[in-house]
Amino acid sequence: MYLAVKNNIAKPAVGLFLALSILSLPALANSSADNKAKGRQIALEADKRESGFGNSEELLKMTLRDSRGNERVREMRIRVLERADGGDWSMTVFDNPRDVKGTALLTYSNGLEPDDQWFYLPALKRVKRISSKNRSGSFMGSEFAFEDMSAFEEVKYDYEFIREEPCGEQTCFVTQWTPLYENSGYSKAIVWQDTTEYRTHKIEYYNQQGNFYKTLIAKDYKLYKERFWRPMTLVMTNHKTEKETLLNYKDYQFDLGFTQSDFSQSALKRFR
């Protein structure tokens, strides 16, 4: 279920259609079929509003906190190239801790298929291709799963609008997303998105046994390029293990002129 790294692509035509459709949502949302349609439209509209940023670079501080409050911190820089013909490409280089400084990861997102990834180890000065089909697995040892960080694809979920309710000073759509892809760790997720900007504020995840499993809180939204809202803080709490992962983003930059050649295996070795 995407959110933390925005690297999907919007379809303008679909977006226009959706924008028009959503205007008439309250009248439609009477039956189960209507609720499903409305849920899908909300998700697509949110996705549309995130798309079209081109390329970006930001700093990320990841804090892994165990149930006893012990912490490990990683700091990294992330470059993203939005691609029109499929999943986005990203390059991540680690700055901290010191012993992993210069370690870098190149990812080609493949939607429903496993991502292609290459990993550069400065200690051996070697690049290794790595891959995993484990969508429900932990992302970098955090409480985020790979599926939480992967690109949005409309076909990956079944959607159902549940209700509207106040969320802080705003009003939120509350929608249920049910994964349709194989090997998900979730049976469903309940998503809170505000009705004005379609920003996601909270997601509650339920595991395959149907038990309340994790909560994601997204906050401190900032507007970039007068169009793109980005959360500066994401907190994922695992209620089973009582572990928590904090993602703090900062220094978002856009339109840096990245091209595909900046996202190659040779570029991976040079990325500092």
Provide the binding-site residues for other proteins, judged by CB under 8 A. Answer: 64-68, 70-72, 94, 97, 99-100, 103, 105, 117, 119, 121-124, 127-134, 137-138, 140-141, 146, 183, 208-209, 240-241, 243
Residue 150 structure tokens: 């992967």
Compare residues 183 and 253 and give the one whose CB is closer to other proteins.
183
Shortest approach of other proteins to residue 82 CB, angstroms? 22
CA-CA distance, 222 to 206, in Å (whole number)? 29
Please answer whether residues 216 and 189 qualify as being in contact, where contact means their C-beta atoms are separated by less than 8 angstroms.
no
Shortest approach of other proteins to residue 141 CB, angstroms? 4
Please answer whether residues 110 and 116 qualify as being in contact, where contact means their C-beta atoms are separated by less than 8 angstroms.
yes
Q: Which amino acid is at 28?
A: L
Shortest approach of other proteins to residue 50 CB, angstroms? 24
Compare residues 27 and 124 and give the one whose CB is closer to other proteins.
124
CB within 8 A of 106, min separation 6: which ones? 89, 90, 91, 117, 118, 119, 120, 263, 264, 265, 267, 268
Shortest approach of other proteins to residue 231 CB, angstroms? 22
Compare residues 10 and 106 and give the one whose CB is closer to other proteins.
106
Q: What does the DSSP assignment read for 168-230?
A: TTEEEEEEEEEE-STT-SEEEEEEEEETTT--EEEEEEEETTS-EEEEEEEEEEEEETTTEEE
Shortest approach of other proteins to residue 178 CB, angstroms? 16
CA 187 to chain centre: 18
Judged by DSSP in three states, 97 sits in coil
Shortest approach of other proteins to residue 154 CB, angstroms? 24
DSSP 8-class letter at 115: P
Q: Which residues does residue 166 pair with via DSSP β-bridges, in sequence order?
A: 171
Compare residues 115 and 194 and give the one whose CB is closer to other proteins.
115
CA-CA distance, 19 to 45, in Å (whole number)? 7
Compare residues 88 and 244 and give the one whose CB is closer to other proteins.
244
Compare residues 63 and 233 and give the one whose CB is closer to other proteins.
63
Dihedral of alpha carbons 63, 66, 71, 76, sign? negative
CA-CA distance, 203 to 76, in Å (whole number)? 25
Compare residues 16 and 121 and give the one whose CB is closer to other proteins.
121
- Bridge-based pairing state of the strands 243-254 and 116-121: unpaired
Shortest approach of other proteins to residue 137 CB, angstroms? 4
Judged by DSSP in three states, 188 sits in strand
Compare residues 13 and 124 and give the one whose CB is closer to other proteins.
124
Shortest approach of other proteins to residue 121 CB, angstroms? 5
